[in-house]
Structure 1
């Protein structure tokens, strides 16, 4: 339905911005039964909720007038969890209320508080801020709330998660009893329900989160990988999609730092956001994304709250979200305003079942796909290059003159080949991943990796760990590559017995493999350097084991290594047993 019954200045502002009809949440707050009431609104990120609460306040703020009265003590207070979200809300309300001559003051951390106090002293119709800064102004007497008609809590669940309960309660306790309270939250956990019960009267509950809780404009995908290949999978996903802007989510600041360094090393234009970055660094990173100097942002959940980048079309969950709500919050950064987005969950294969259950509980239909291979990525590169070159272009006289000079000395084919090479040279190389689909399990009591051509003349080696220590080829392979300085392609069959593991190495590389093992060994160490690896005769085939199906059956997938991995950040590899 089109917008109706709105004050003329707001209707004109919406038309100028290209709004033809309200989103579901905007339509809900304009319904007759919502007028004049407190509201509890469940709406996903990117659903147009900022404009929604701007519209919900309009009739009470303006009445029959087309402009607001002279600014004095604020009439409305909007509280947001992060500086970025508060600034975004302020920008939205500024254009929405421009025709009504609204004076909007923003109070957030990282800005000069003395300037904010002067702005408040000059009068404001709407104040937008973060809980900590607003509380500070309130306690100093700079923020006067006695004339308040509206309080809006934007992303209230996030504010409670971030520890702002005391700040919120002090601010809300200072507001007059007659004010309306609009509470917007993507989720409704118990603390939010308790907050609404304490500070609202006869609130109308509005939910625009339908049966399909996943965002309608987001395509969800999941990829299962070896824990050692998480980083490689992320690189291939970035290369395959070549999104205008992509956001990668990690669980900790250490993992953000590691992932960001890995991307920059490979030639990606990437920035990082985590709790260790200053406000100036955050501002620089966000501006780099907006002006296209950077195309990838690696962030923690908290650091990414409130970020809105219009060109964001790809979200990669580098580490599995802790629950479905976090998955939706992260993914909701893309697929906004009618644009399509893609959210990919990188799943270490031992956690696949957990992720499947999480997706089922969230009623999200995610497609399980393979990590893009190097061949698939290069094919995509070729198609993208052809599309770019076949598009019509307008050339200057200088450019045509240079093209003529090139054609005088080179053939068209030679120039085309040089162009293709130049294009490929600026792109990071894709990675080769461990194939987790080809391992089969023998019926003779040992696990065997598939036999590949080129392993007819091999040397067998033995490790002093086996099924009783949860040995598993998926983490044994990268261990051998690190200890022996060889590639995955130089490791043949793997046989895991109860107390030891045997594997093949081509005879041509066995000598340097043995030398590397000696250099990387630390006898008695508790990490992987303490595992004894030595040449061995070919192992005998073990007799079939009785199938008891007990808890000690170590052949089940997802075995953990009996050592502590120091080369991977927390969460990106098997944990100690």
Structure 2
């Protein structure tokens, strides 16, 4: 590695030990740009080796011509990362890169013991890596001495601004010495990043790696069109088809993460979840389970997954569509890193096709449009993997010979092969049958959602065959169809066109489901038959008994105006309507001879005050 100018010999030795054969594009760009001791604004894609790049760029500034660091004191460099996972990952990368320099590296990240971090800072460190909020806390408490800083690095600067850390970053940069180097690394350089760089960098060198505005060539993008009810089934089939060592499924909300985690656990997938409600210890255990193979599928929100690095991540699935091109790029950038291949699959309901096309166009991505793998395709892929298993090419060992002979004597070869096939499939989740794909044909006659404009929407009461279900929530619990319908569609895997009438009662609600979808709906809810926490769903044998629930059918016809009597029909002679008598209007009014016990129902006359 010493053939590259600008690499400190100790770092070149560490690169060789770590197995580096060739530097990445951003690492070469940083070394060959001739920045020297100048500031730099570097734009490079996620997973392109930025940590090693700024480690190589910082070494001459920190070592000052020496081969090793001297005694530990005030930090010489500060690296700021947006998330805890990314900060810890940066620290690990710098530890092996600076192994032969004697560098002491400390971390200051949210969720960790602040007292332990303070003691590490008191002992001294050459490089400090942390998250914006925790670094600001240490600076405010005078635990982090900024007086000796020679360089500050902002890693994933665009993500830090997206997460709302602008004020913290400005505080940290203002606290650092004015005579320092400031290096900013970002996947994209929007206006906010350019403004921040202009305010805190001096004559910065702009470094753009090849393909900054293009996508990873190592990522295969696939757009899979599905019926809305088959969205989760399509994800199951994609996971089964690829059988990736590590797969990451992105959702837009915590509720969606919890729902998919519960369902995939029931389907025999080894799955972990990452969302904002988890503690740092739980997050660390989840990521470690992915790294050591105890879990193969991670379901996460965008914020929770920022900065995580899974070396064996081969598949990214967008269960919910990203909201903007930047989010799509950050999600997909978790795979296809450091020269490894990866797949980014978008699960697209038919109604979101046009919106997805605009999103992909904005991101500069041209995906392969297709249908999700069918059950037959998944089974065929399983068979191909089985036939290609290297176990078939290995010779029979001596300790296996006796039992192999016993099997051949007891069963014929066909029976043994069938048993082997059943055993190999026993631990896997069965693929799902998906609805036949609907061809998408854009035309002027179609509306924004791709449906023919002259199609008449089906009425909710147009159900020739249906099944009624009871939900243990009613009007007293503020139940309304506008949130019941999306909840049932999401949890039960159906569309709103498969939901018929809804009858709201004080303590429960009755929902009509199309008979063809009733079994699938009830099975998708799960064995506890509960949705959204503790709402119990029961299947009814026939029509709901609305009388016992206090159901009042709607009354047709207009009601009389409040406070006015009923009106009789016009007289035959053309006279106007005659107002009903007072006694007819108010049946509770007193009549002659009203018993004393009934006088309590008669309103008391207001007494007039007589003048004195």
Q: TM-score range by the shorter chain?
A: 0.7 to 0.9
* CA shift for structure 1 position 73: 0.6
User: 3-state DSSP class of the match of 1:246?
Assistant: strand
Using structure 1 for the length normalisation, give the TM-score: 0.78
1:487 to 516, 519, 525: 516
Q: Contact 2:466/2:514 (CA < 8 Å) preserved in 1?
A: no
Distance in 2, Cα, partners of 1:212 & 1:301: 21
Equivalent residue runs for 1:138-537 within 5 Å: 138-208=139-209, 210=211, 213-388=214-389, 391-393=392-394, 397-437=398-438, 475=495, 478-479=498-499, 483-484=512-513, 486-487=515-516, 518-519=543-544
Counterpart for residue 491 of structure 2 = none
Distance in 2, Cα, partners of 1:522 & 1:23: 73
Instruction: Indicate how the Cα distance of structure 1 residues 212 and 167 shifts in structure 2: closer, same or farther if over 3 A, else same.
Output: closer
User: 3-state DSSP class of the match of 1:302?
Assistant: helix
* CA shift for structure 1 position 63: 3.0
User: 3-state DSSP class of the match of 2:257?
Assistant: helix
User: 3-state DSSP class of the match of 2:82?
Assistant: coil
Instruction: Indicate how the Cα distance of structure 1 residues 314 and 8 shifts in structure 2: closer, same or farther if over 3 A, else same.
Output: same
Larger Rg: 2
Distance in 2, Cα, partners of 1:483 & 1:434: 22
User: 3-state DSSP class of the match of 1:33?
Assistant: coil
1:116-147 deviation per Cα after TM superposition (whole angstroms, max 9, x unaligned)? 11111111110111111111111121110111
Instruction: Indicate how the Cα distance of structure 1 residues 60 and 314 shifts in structure 2: closer, same or farther if over 3 A, else same.
Output: same
Q: Contact 2:33/2:207 (CA < 8 Å) preserved in 1?
A: no
* CA shift for structure 1 position 36: 1.4
How many residue pairs get aligned? The number is 485
1:277-309 deviation per Cα after TM superposition (whole angstroms, max 9, x unaligned)? 111211111111011111000000000011111
* CA shift for structure 1 position 475: 3.4
1:321-378 deviation per Cα after TM superposition (whole angstroms, max 9, x unaligned)? 1111110100000001111000001111111111112212221121101111001111
User: 3-state DSSP class of the match of 1:12?
Assistant: helix
Distance in 2, Cα, partners of 1:520 & 1:486: 19
1:454-476 deviation per Cα after TM superposition (whole angstroms, max 9, x unaligned)? xxxxx95699xxxxxxxxxx936
* CA shift for structure 1 position 411: 1.8
Counterpart for residue 560 of structure 2 = none
User: 3-state DSSP class of the match of 1:220?
Assistant: strand
User: 3-state DSSP class of the match of 1:215?
Assistant: coil
Distance in 1, Cα, partners of 2:275 & 2:519: 39
User: 3-state DSSP class of the match of 1:147?
Assistant: coil
* CA shift for structure 1 position 165: 1.9
Counterpart for residue 591 of structure 2 = none
Distance in 2, Cα, partners of 1:314 & 1:275: 22
Instruction: Indicate how the Cα distance of structure 1 residues 378 and 138 shifts in structure 2: closer, same or farther if over 3 A, else same.
Output: same
Distance in 2, Cα, partners of 1:275 & 1:400: 54
Distance in 2, Cα, partners of 1:48 & 1:295: 24
Distance in 2, Cα, partners of 1:444 & 1:181: 57
Query: What is the alpha-carbon root mean square deviation over aligned residues?
Result: 3.2
User: 3-state DSSP class of the match of 1:487?
Assistant: helix
Counterpart for residue 55 of structure 1 = 56
